[in-house]
Structure formats: structure tokens, C-alpha cells
Structure 1
Amino acid sequence: MKFKRKVEIVVISDVHLGTYGCHAKQLLTYLNSIEPKHLILNGDIIDVWQFSKRYFPKSHMQVIKKIVSFAAKGTKVTYITGNHDEMLRKFTDTEIGNIAVVNKLVLELDDKKAWIFHGDVFDASIQNAKWLAKLGGYGYDLLILINRFTNWMLVNLGKERYSLSKRIKNSVKSAVKYISNFEKTATDLAIENGYDYVICGHIHQPKNEIVESKKGKTHYLNSGDWVENFTALEYQFKRWKLYKYSEDKLSAFYADEDLKEMTEAELIAAITVMKPMK
């Protein structure tokens, strides 16, 4: 039997199930390696903006089944809505078994307060020109698709993978400024409101750092994504860790054996029937 790490809290975001950029197999490998008490899905898990019936591979369905399986076995699952899955906001404050849908979350962690939200509330392009934000989303997905083909060629040539979108974002001044402004806004608000931790997603930039200002300090964390960075946040032993799939995976934890043989219809049936809690 393969060893699974027990983790108090796990935060993942920006999985973008239903798009070509999503790396569901890597995420399944990670999810099969842990036993979390509380799994926080911090937005953009299912990409409703780019959703297409023509593209929803079995591995994407397996991620959903794995999350439901966690809940059925006692894990508390909190789904915080993001901009790409904003249609779920109509179900805010709904609870089904161990699964809850919310817009934001405040947790008490060992006498400290954590403020957790996706982060699109800071994005003016989404708030004021949603059509422009969606157009940018399509362009980003096309870039990711081209990047996946490029990486397939590089891997077959024995060379390292290359993140084209990350390189562009890191080299374009306006993108760097946007990320910097996002982080500053989040940390300023957290300090002003007395939060010890502020935890976001949205910008696909994983980070774990202490931020100080004249008014105080806070711990800023971003869970990154499963499109480019393959990262998550883990809370255990009163501390946060930024998990990086490329560096931190121990041994391979693949999808359960029974999942490999299941048809799409069987997978849909499996995730729509919740096992009763004991």
C-alpha cells in the first residue's frame, strides 16, 4: 500500500478543468498522495468560460470524482468561487454533505486568522469589461495549447520543458506591474483588517512570503495553478508550505486502479451518487 501524507489543510486553485491547458494527470498524482482534513478549492477549478462538450477528458472527470471521494470519506471540502466558475456563485452558502460553496473564507488557525478568497475582485478588467477579460482568456488558452505542443517536442528531444506564457508574463512590464499591484492590494487590506494570513489564487503566481508595512505585517500566500506551475498550499504543524509538484513529489501516485478501467458513463454515475457518511 502506498504511503499517503496526512495534511491538515490543502489549498489548490486555477485548475481550469475543461481546457487544454489543464494538467489533470499531474493533479491526480498529487491528490492521490495526500489525506487532507480540509480541502479548499480556491476558484477556477472548472473553467466555465472555456467549457466545451468536445473537450472534457476522462482525467478531468477523475479529478472531480477524487474531490467528491475526499468528501465522502470525511474531508471537509470548501469551494470558493472564482471568475471562470462564477456561475457557481448563485449557490453561495450552499452545503451538501461535506461540500460547501462560498465566495470567501475566514479561518482561525492556531490563534491566527486566515483570509482566503480567489482574487478576481481586484481585477478591473473583469469587473468593468467582462467581454475583454474573456477574450484575453481565449488568447491565454491558445498560448497554452501552443506551449503544450512545444513541450511535447522538447521532451521527445530530451530537453527541458519551457513555459512560454510564464516567460512572456515575466518579461512584459505591464503584467509584472499588475501582479505587483494585486499582491500589494491583498496584503494592504489584510494588514488593515488584522488578518495574519491572506491566501489568493487568480494570477497563477505561487508565492509564500511575509509582507511588512508601516501599519503591520501579514503572511501572503498564493496557491498558483495547475496549468503552468503545478503548485498547492499545505498547512501542517502550524506552518504553511508551498508544494511544488516538480520538486516535491515523492513517488508516483496514479489514479486508482479501478478508475483506469471505468467508462465515461460510469465515472459520471460515480460522481453523482454520494456515499452516506458513517
Structure 2
Amino acid sequence: MLLDFLSKNQADTIYLIGDIIDAWRLRRGWFWPQSHNDVVQELLARAHDGAKIYYVPGNHDEVLRGYLGTHFGGVEVVKSAPHVTADGRRLLVTHGDQFDSIVVNAKWLAHLGDRAYEFALWLNTWLNRIKRLWGGQYWSLSKWAKHQVKQAVSFISEYEHVLADEARRHGFDGVVCGHIHSACIRKIDGLDYVNTGDWVESCTAVVEDMNGRLKLIDWTAVMRTRDARARKLKQARRSEIPTKDKEVA
């Protein structure tokens, strides 16, 4: 789905806001299919064609924080990055895990939570396979759980305000982050809070148009709409096929 998104969208500047490579998972067992290589090759091709690409490592790919300032095929590894929108707003681009008290102070608990999250994704995959048998649409179990559990809602709200306060302290007009897998664009005390979500379950990205407006794109919704249009077009074409009248003896 990420490759499909990239094939339909071009940008002069691309920010990879952490957890692009899941090093935690790779330590437990190597998993690197061809589709992963395809994503890497697509990004390197963009860099070769002149796009500026910044890689801001997160907690899952924190090993790359040892290579800050390094360029890999035109992709620059940075701790964070300032981004100025077309309408002049200064945004702090950061992964955001350094503001997660569990990741910072209890990494063992973060790893335990990661295992639980993997199980939720595995269960979610099978639930959606069953739903597809009768034409059901994609549904995110973990996203539903986050909105149902009060502690999760409280954690997300606190995280958002901490990130907004950090941007304000450094003189920014807003912050663009990731980490908590909860895509959102909203105002917090006059500052722009932007969370890009992820490409594991929600499949979301944030884009800026030529006027500086930021937009959250839900690619699962885009693909559902596109598939529905394709089905309607196919059905319409079938209905237009003339049928031969039966011969009457």
C-alpha cells in the first residue's frame, strides 16, 4: 500500500518520521521480503531525481541514531528537522518517542507492549480475512481499542500536549510527529499538532499542498473508493454488452 501511495504522489521533500525499519522485530528473526526492497529502491530513486529525503529515526530503528548527519544514497539521517511550510509556518519534525515516559524509563515494558501490539495485528489480519468472505471492509482492532480504553485515550491526549509544548518552547508554530500510531491534525493551544499515523495498520500520511495546507490522507479509504469505482465501472460495462435474442422455432 505504501508503494501504491508513492506511485500516486510526488513531493520535493519527504520526511520518514521513524520506525521505518523494525529493528526490534529483526533481532528476533529476519524478515525482509521483496516489497521492502521495492520501497527502499523507490525512495532512493526519488533522492536520485532531486527530492530531499530526511530520515528521523524512532525507537524501533534507534540504531540509526548512531549515524546522524550521514547520507545514504541521498537520504540524510537527522535527529529532528525544521520544516517551513509554503505559508511560512515553522514546524518541528520529530518521531516523538523521547517524550514517551515508558520508552524512556521502562524499555522492557515498551518491548512487552510491542509483543502485545504484534499479537493484535496478527489477530486483526485474521479478523479482516473473515470479514472479506462476506464483503466486509477493513477494520482496525488496535485503533478501536485505543478509542475504547480510557487510559489509552488519556495517554494520547497527554502525549499530544507534551509535543505541542516542546514545539512552543523552541519557537515553532507546530509539530509533526509519529510514534503513537494515532493519525491526527488539530490545533492545541494555537499550535499545529500533526501526527502522521503509520503504514502498519492505518496506512496514513500527511501531505502539504502548494499553498501550505496540510492534509491527512487515509490510503485505505482512497483504495476502497478506487476499488468501488472500478467495480461499478466493470458492472456498467457488463450491462452494456448486447445479448443475442433467442431464436423462436
TM norm structure 1 = 0.76
After TM superposition, give the deviation of residue 87 of structure 1 in Å.
Answer: 0.4
**Structure that is richer in helix per residue:** 2
The question of whether the paired residues in 2 share the 8 Å contact of 1:50 and 1:138 is answered with no
Out of 36, 45, 60, which is 1:60 matched to? 36
> Structure with the greater relative contact order (CA < 8 A, sep ≥ 6): 1 or 2?
1
Further displaced range: 76-85 or 96-105: 96-105
Out of 172, 177, 183, which is 1:200 matched to? 177
Task: Read off the aligned partner of 1:241 and give its amino acid letter.
Answer: K
Out of 39, 62, 66, which is 2:14 matched to? 39
Partner in structure 1 of residue 240 of structure 2? none
The secondary structure found in structure 1 opposite 2:24 is coil
Task: Read off the aligned partner of 2:106 and give its amino acid letter.
Answer: A
Computed over aligned residues only, the root mean square deviation of the Cα atoms, in angstroms, reads 1.7
Partner in structure 1 of residue 245 of structure 2? none
Unpaired runs of 5+ residues, structure 2, are 228-249
Q: CA–CA distance in 1 between the matches of 2:98 and 2:143?
A: 23
Unpaired runs of 5+ residues, structure 1, are 1-25, 253-278
Label 1:157 to 1:149 Cα distance change in 2 as closer, same or farther (>3 A).
same
Partner in structure 1 of residue 232 of structure 2? none
Out of 73, 76, 84, which is 2:52 matched to? 76
Question: Quick check: which has more Rg, 1 or 2?
Answer: 2
Partner in structure 1 of residue 61 of structure 2? 85
Q: CA–CA distance in 2 between the matches of 1:97 and 1:59?
A: 19
Label 1:251 to 1:70 Cα distance change in 2 as closer, same or farther (>3 A).
farther
The question of whether the paired residues in 2 share the 8 Å contact of 1:78 and 1:101 is answered with yes
Out of 82, 94, 104, which is 1:106 matched to? 82
The question of whether the paired residues in 1 share the 8 Å contact of 2:167 and 2:173 is answered with yes
The secondary structure found in structure 2 opposite 1:35 is coil
Partner in structure 1 of residue 220 of structure 2? 246
Task: Read off the aligned partner of 2:125 and give its amino acid letter.
Answer: R
Partner in structure 1 of residue 197 of structure 2? 224
Task: Read off the aligned partner of 1:194 and give its amino acid letter.
Answer: G
Mapped pair 1:152 → 2:126: no
After TM superposition, give the deviation of residue 104 of structure 1 in Å.
Answer: 0.6
Further displaced range: 49-58 or 88-97: 49-58
Q: CA–CA distance in 2 between the matches of 1:164 and 1:96?
A: 36
After TM superposition, give the deviation of residue 173 of structure 1 in Å.
Answer: 1.1
**Structure that is richer in strand per residue:** 1
The secondary structure found in structure 1 opposite 2:201 is coil
The percentage of counterpart residues that share the same residue type is: 36
Task: Read off the aligned partner of 1:50 and give its amino acid letter.
Answer: R
Q: Aligned residues, how many?
A: 223
Q: CA–CA distance in 1 between the matches of 2:170 and 2:48?
A: 35
Task: Read off the aligned partner of 2:17 and give its amino acid letter.
Answer: N
Task: Read off the aligned partner of 2:166 and give its amino acid letter.
Answer: L
After TM superposition, give the deviation of residue 44 of structure 1 in Å.
Answer: 0.2
Mapped pair 1:186 → 2:163: yes
Partner in structure 1 of residue 186 of structure 2? 209
Partner in structure 1 of residue 5 of structure 2? 30
Partner in structure 1 of residue 106 of structure 2? 129
Mapped pair 1:94 → 2:70: yes
